[in-house]
Chain A
Amino acid sequence: MEDIAILGVGMHPWGKWGRNFVEYGTVAARKALDDAQLEWSEIGFISGAITVRCGYPGYVAGSTMARALGFNGTQVASSYAACASGATALSVARGQILSGACDVALVVGADTTPDGFLAPNDGIRTDDTDWLRFHMVGATNPVYFGLHARRRMEMYGATQEDFALVKVKNSKHAVFNENARFNKEYALEDISASPVVSDPLRLLEICTTSDGGAAVVVSSLDYAKSLGVDNPVRISAIALNTPTYPDPLIDLPYLATDSSANTVPNEIGFKESIGEHVYEEAGIGPEDVDVAEVYDLASSMELDWYEQLGFCQLGEAESLLRDGSTSIGGRIPVNPSGGLGAFGEAVPAQAIAQVCELNWQLAQQAGKRQVKDARIGITANQGLFGHGSSVLLRR
């Protein structure tokens, strides 16, 4: 598939601002348009990532943002894929561009989140596993993170200190990110002093819920050239994977895994398949990647991604972390933005924010958190109910 160009990116800083999500989306969109040196009236298609926590305007995020920017007849769509919504919205925009339906598109996601645990919307729904896992078990999102972290300790000898060191590393990166919610550099002692949320994971290792917004302006390579942009950061591949039956790993929001009683699980697991998809589509391998932004809902999950994206073999993630390979300055820096640990979840904006960060990295505009000579970057993200996503960027 042909590449598309990134013409501009923008974010509204993450925080707990308590304002209308539309405001964050509009700020991010205007910054992305300014970065692209384009007017809103020049955008052929707006692709919104849906939030389910802000009422009807959230369900129709694309048109909500279009109205805030000023209805002008532009084509619109809105996408939902839980935490992967932003990648889905980007993929919809890419489809419009590569089919020739439009030359240039605006992708935007924003959220206003409640405090505390993310929880299902009100009501009684005994046929909804997301409702059932809370009601019948009390299985919050961190419970699933804790189950996998404990399993990682059992399988590979990971320690609580390894998980804490992920947070230490990412907090160092976040010091230089004005869009991150938390800019404080944490030491190991800070993390071990924070309370356990879901054993073995502590409060500082589990991402919080935040308000924020992110936007990207993308176009065909020809359109970019017509603007005089000859060497843009390009999107070379997007994955929007579902799992393959039977998936043997317990994952939210389910009460049980599939059964492998009569069918052998795929050799390549669900999360591994996400990276495989973009590597194949872009015609590269994990050894070619210079920088990654991965979905660290908990610090332990970042270690899983090192292996799932092929940066090291199973069981080697802790060494990769400890030898500094995944810090800025190392062989394959991961989460130079500070990751979700420094941002918190603003669900529909998160996958777009990952693309913003890699755009800055590949355009050599990342300031003090710049990964030297970064040319190829990968994002990884997962939304509940079977939404795996990844975006591969290069320059």
Chain B
Amino acid sequence: MTKDTKIEVPAVEGFFTIEEETHLIGGRFKKSGSYCFPKSLGGSDPDFPEDEIEEVLLSRVGKIWSYTNSAYPPPPPFIAAEPYVPIVIAAVELEEEKMVIIGQVVNGYSVEDLSVGMPVEVKVGTLYEDSEYRYLTWMWKPLFEEQKQDKN
């Protein structure tokens, strides 16, 4: 399989770990105790001036807050596959961090397979590829395969 010959790299460094149990890499404000994603681009709590951010791994599992898709290929800097298969996007609520993070849903799911409140876990998936590399991003994967079956 070509899958074994290409080198897998994150499309942009510093957003997630690449391992079996993938985690999103976020930030945790040391004084306020709140979180942000990505770790260097979060807004600050005005009640905790000059708070410092430490790097943390965010919860792997969350619940779908809402979902949609993009029936048409998004414009650059998105690199759309040809032929384009509509991407599905979910906004997922992490319980401990009490925040919502958007991401694509792994291949093979359509909006009909999803519902608000459905548990999902974070995975890595291919954003685009060239002859040498497979460029990865984080994606949400519904946790219980049987839920997909039920919907069908």
Contact = CB atoms under 8 A, between A and B. Distances in A.
B75 A248 contact: no
B68 A262 contact: no
Contact of A263 (B47, B104, B116): B47
B6 to A, nearest CB: 19
B133 to A, nearest CB: 15
A143 B68 contact: yes
Interface in B55-79: 65-72, 74-79
B43 A245 contact: yes
Q: In terms of DSSP, what is the predominant structure of the interface of chain A? A: loop
Nearest to B127: A136
A201 B33 CA distance: 37
B99 A256 contact: yes
A260 B67 CA distance: 21
Given A131-B77, A245-B44, A261-B34, A147 B99 contact: no
A135 B37 contact: no
Contacts, number: 159
A250 interface: yes
Contacts of B33: 261-262
A314 interface: no
Q: In terms of DSSP, what is the predominant structure of the interface of chain B? A: loop
A131 B75 CA distance: 11
A19 interface: no
How many chain A residues sit at the interface, stated as a range, is: 35 or more
A257 B44 CA distance: 12
Contacts of B41: 127, 129, 132, 255
How many chain B residues sit at the interface, stated as a range, is: 35 or more
B115 to A, nearest CB: 8
Nearest to B104: A137
A276 B98 CA distance: 26
B40 A127 contact: yes
Nearest to A126: B12
Interface stretch (A113-121, A161-169, A316-324): A113-121
Contact of B35 (A116, A147, A197, A261): A261
Given A138-B89, A143-B89, A262-B34, A245 B46 contact: yes
Interface of B: 11-12, 15, 32-38, 40-47, 65-72, 74-80, 87, 89, 91, 96-104, 111, 116, 127, 137-138
Given A135-B79, A136-B127, A259-B98, 15 more contacts: A119-B74, A135-B11, A138-B70, A138-B78, A138-B104, A143-B102, A154-B116, A196-B71, A197-B72, A201-B68, A246-B43, A247-B43, A255-B41, A258-B43, A263-B47
Interface of A: 116-117, 119-120, 122, 124, 126-127, 129, 131-140, 142-143, 146-151, 154, 195-201, 245-248, 250, 255-263
